[in-house]
Amino acid sequence: MTRRSPPAFTRDQEMLVRFRSLVLALLLTTTATQRLVAQRAVGESASQKDARMAWWRDARFGMFIHWGLYAVPAGVWKGERVNGLGEWIMARAPIRGDEYAPLARQFNPTQFDADAWVKTAKDAGMKYIIITSKHHDGFALFDSKVSSYDIVDATPYHRDAIKALASAARRAGLKFGVYYSIMDWHHPDAQAPAYPDYNSRTATNPNFSRYVETYMKPQLRELVTQYPEIDVLWFDGEWISDWSDAQGKSLYEWLRGLRPNLIINNRVGHSRQGMAGMSANPDAPGDFGTPEQRVPPEGLPGVDWETCMTLNDTWGFQSFDDGWKDARTLVRTLVDVASKGGNFLLNVGPTAQGLIPWQSVSRLREMGDWMRVNGEAIYGTTASPYGLPAWGRYTAKSSAGRVYAHVFDWPKDGRLTLTGLQAKPAAVYLLADRKPLTVEQTADGWAVRLPAVRPSAISSVLVLETRSTR
Ligand code: GLC
């Protein structure tokens, strides 16, 4: 448990933290439904798993990209707005396969610039990118030899977007992964015959195993053998009745056999508890849980999880979706996630021309401005050792003996009570200017005297040096 150890505290504090962790651990084991037991492939030790997960745990912030044929109608079919998620238009309208597939001829993203997308992610402070290699509609953004329903064979663009983005990410030093939908509305052996109810929870296809063996696995093999940059496989569409935890487990092991260092989400299995995102079955496959559009209220100590979230209300581009979250909300969500020990995967939905909407770019830029000053309090941090203070959040970096106080609400009287802190910190300063601040004891505990003007209206970060000076 290298990563979960608390920062350097006094002995008493350490005992208290240990006691709390023990109580939490006990609580968690009794609530089996809250558990996501870390999957270990046969032969992988705990420390080998820690090594495999290390970059992912340090990264904390990534970019999700939903891009595919659905960007062409962009939420409008035959002149009518189709409500719901942009990438679900085929199911929501609903659209027959022979009417949907010709959209490929209109998919010509001449303005797609992989380096520009990667730069947008990197400038925002993101450390990895996950893009849809194949969404529920079955269309592949990579050059698949198993199918001609892909960007190289079926569109006038004729270029492999996954290859371009994977190489650009590698050049920029970002990690890279692909989303892959198990559900497939295009394949006759999968969900295509279920039209108009592609997402039926009860429909089964007697030929589903043929789809798995002759189409899905060969496509996945192409991805993990021909794209050396792929570090993560991000499954989805696993809730169909033709899929099970057992199938997920064998797929997980097969993939790890092909690429031992792959990190695979828990949607490879079948027991995710809806949007809460953690697997109900303690033996379910997958390396991390996937809460969707939400942050677990109390956090999930001791497990790996990643909240994925949209910047507006949809994943795939939808021309009329203007429900944009502001940069303050987005940064505070990232802080909230980090303070609970998770990663934040924030989505963009590029247009059919290949552009990330400017509303997304401008928000990501603002996040990047904040991250350039305060990134130290996010990357490589672990969950708060002191719970959730009323004024904001804590993150911690035990290796550096530091706790970070993320102050959302700047106190009017200029005094911030460091809730939870037992011993006086050796030093306290703002990341924005690193000038030492005075700490005093009050009836409520240790309090820092803050300057009158906060350095950030989004979140001002204090460093608490908890390691006592020798
Ligand atoms: C949901 C949606 C899917 C989207 C995913 C991202 O499962 O069905 O369209 O890709 O969320 O987590």
The H or E element containing residue 217 is helix 217-226
Q: Is the CB of 308 under 6 A from ligand 1?
A: yes
Assess if residue 132 is contained within a domain. yes
Q: Which pLDDT does position 468 carry in this prediction?
A: 56
Question: Are residues 211 and 131 both part of a single domain?
Answer: yes
CA–CA separation, 158 vs 145, rounded Å?
14
pLDDT above 70 as % of the chain:
90
Query: Is the N-terminal amide bond of 196 cis, ω within 30° of 0?
Result: yes
The values of phi and psi at residue 195, to 5°, are -45, 140
pLDDT level of residue 301 (50, 70, 90 thresholds): confident
Mean pLDDT of 441-468: 94
Which of 267, 315, 321 best tests ligand 1's pocket when mutated (most atoms within 8 Å of CB)? Answer: 315
The answer to whether residue 19 sits within a structural domain is no
Each residue's pLDDT tens digit, 56-94? 999 999 999 999 999 999 999 999 999 999 999 999 999
Q: Which domain holds residue 448?
A: 392-465
> In this structure, are 230 and 359 located in the same domain?
yes
Ligand 1 contacts CB of residue 309 (under 6 A)? no
Ligand 1: nearest atom to the Cα of 135:
10
Q: Would you state the pLDDT for residue 201?
A: 87
pLDDT of the residue at 43: 75
Mutate to test the pocket of ligand 1, among 70, 292, 347, 348 (most ligand atoms within 8 A of CB): 292
Pick the last residue of a domain from 377, 410, 434.
377
> Would you state the pLDDT for residue 25?
41
- pLDDT on residue 302: 80
pLDDT attached to residue 17: 39
Residues 255 and 337 occupy one common structural domain = yes
Residue 36 has pLDDT above 50, yes or no: no
pLDDT at 37: 44
Atom of ligand 1 nearest to the CA of 181: 10
Q: Is residue 294 part of a domain?
A: yes
Query: What CATH number is attached to the domain comprising 417?
Result: 2.60.40.1180
Regarding whether 62 and 92 lie in a shared domain, the answer is yes
Q: Tell me: do 370 and 458 sit in the same domain.
A: no
Give the pLDDT of residue 373.
97
Could you report the per-residue pLDDT of 406-443, keeping only the tens digit for each? Answer: 999 999 999 999 999 999 999 999 999 999 999 999 99
Please choose, from the candidates 206, 169, 175, the residue with its C-alpha nearest in 3D space to the C-alpha of residue 191.
206
Give pLDDT, residue 467.
Answer: 79
Q: Is 214 contained in some domain? A: yes
Does one domain contain both 215 and 349? Answer: yes
* SS3 assignment, position 387: coil
Q: For atom 4 of ligand 1, which residue has the closest CA?
A: 315
- Residue 22 is predicted with a pLDDT of 41
- Encode pLDDT of 108-140 as tens digits: 999 999 999 999 999 999 999 999 999 999 999
Residue 33 covered by a domain: no
Same domain, 91 and 153: yes
- Over residues 230-243, the mean pLDDT reads 98
Instruction: Determine the pLDDT at residue 23.
Output: 41
The CATH code of the domain that includes 104 is 3.20.20.80
- Asked if residue 77 and residue 215 are part of one domain, the reply reads yes
Q: Could you tell me if 317 and 406 lie in one domain?
A: no
**In this structure, is residue 6 part of a structural domain?**
no
Domain closes at, from 377, 408, 443: 377
- Ligand 1 pocket: which of 141, 236, 344 to mutate (most atoms within 8 A of CB): 236
**Considering its fold, how many domains does the chain have in total?**
2
**Are 64 and 356 contacting, i.e. CB atoms less than 8 angstroms apart?**
no
Per the domain annotation, does 218 fall within a domain?
yes
Same domain? 143 vs 66: yes
- Are both 355 and 398 inside the same structural domain? no
Collapsing DSSP to helix, strand or coil, 65 comes out as: strand
In a shared domain, residues 370 and 403: no
- Residue-wise DSSP of 72-127: TTTTEETTEE--S-GGGHHHHTT--HHHHGGGGGG---TT--HHHHHHHHHHHT--
Cα→Cα distances 414→405, 409, 430, 452, 453, Å: 15, 11, 14, 6, 9
Reply yes or no on whether the pLDDT at 1 is more than 80: no
End of a domain among 377, 412, 436?
377
Q: Is residue 310 part of a domain?
A: yes
